Amino acid sequence: MASGREKAYGYLKETVLTDPAMQGEFLSEQDIADRIGVSRTPIREALLLLAAEDLVELVPKRGARVAPLSGREISELMELRGIVERFAAEQVLTSGRAPVRELAELLDRQVGLSGPDQAKEFIAVDHLFHSTLVSAVGNALLDRHYEGLRSRQVRAGVVALYNQQGRQEAVLHEHQAILDALTAGDAAAACLAIDNHLGSTLKVLLTG
């Protein structure tokens, strides 16, 4: 059974931090404690962990504030993702381990998720799409490194969906292009499709 701190940490990271309406807002420890049924102590402990990851900002006499993703942080996130995901595409095609069936199934799941009420689930599957490609490399250290980007990746993805109408449909087309290139065994096309996808997301996030 998860401890109170683990429960609070998971709730904050997966539910509160990914809510576009909470970006830049201060958090009420008591409100969060009431929502998940724990005392305020594990909430404070969880917030300290999140502050160490630069996901929340602890402001003296004010409390914890959800730190909005800065333009620089978004750019660096997409740059790092591009390095990892292009490497993954090249490696899985070289080794013959491209997870095309798994990616196709995830893309089918995404197609069934439309509208703002399903944005978080859409982005959760979006993360699975990309992490499945990275995991297929078979490098545990790379997996842990990429998973460390998850919270920022999900936050950025949800915000992008809210920033631009029709972004969900664009993501589906961009994912299809990545899948098509992997299916064809074309590493150059796969890398280009990944760059186009991440570049489109970056543009949406920076232009708002």
**Tens digits of residue pLDDT in 103-131:** 999 999 999 998 777 888 899 899 999 99
- The residues that bridge with 64 in the sheet, in sequence order, are 58
Rounded Cα distance, 159 and 162, in Å: 5
Q: Do the beta carbons of residue 29 and residue 63 sit within 8 Å?
A: yes
User: Which residues fall within 8 angstroms of residue 25, CB to CB, at 6 or more apart?
Assistant: 65, 66
pTM to 2 decimal places = 0.86
- Average pLDDT score over residue span 8-22: 85
Q: Are 51 and 65 in contact (CB under 8 A)?
A: no
pLDDT bracket for residue 15 (50, 70, 90):
confident
| DSSP type of residue 137 | T
Residue 49 has pLDDT above 80, yes or no: yes
**Backbone phi, psi, residue 57, to 5°:** -115, 125
DSSP element (H, E) containing 153: helix 150-163
List, as one string, the DSSP characters of 14-77: IIITT-GGGTTPBP-HHHHHHHHT--HHHHHHHHHHHHHTTSEEEETTTEEEE-PPPHHHHHHH
pLDDT of residue 116: 74
How far apart are alpha carbons 62 and 204 in whole angstroms?
31
Predicted pLDDT at 2? 67
Q: Can you give the pLDDT at residue 1?
A: 62
Q: What is the pLDDT of residues 187-196, one digit of tens each?
A: 999 999 999 9
What is the H or E stretch that residue 8 is in?
helix 4-11
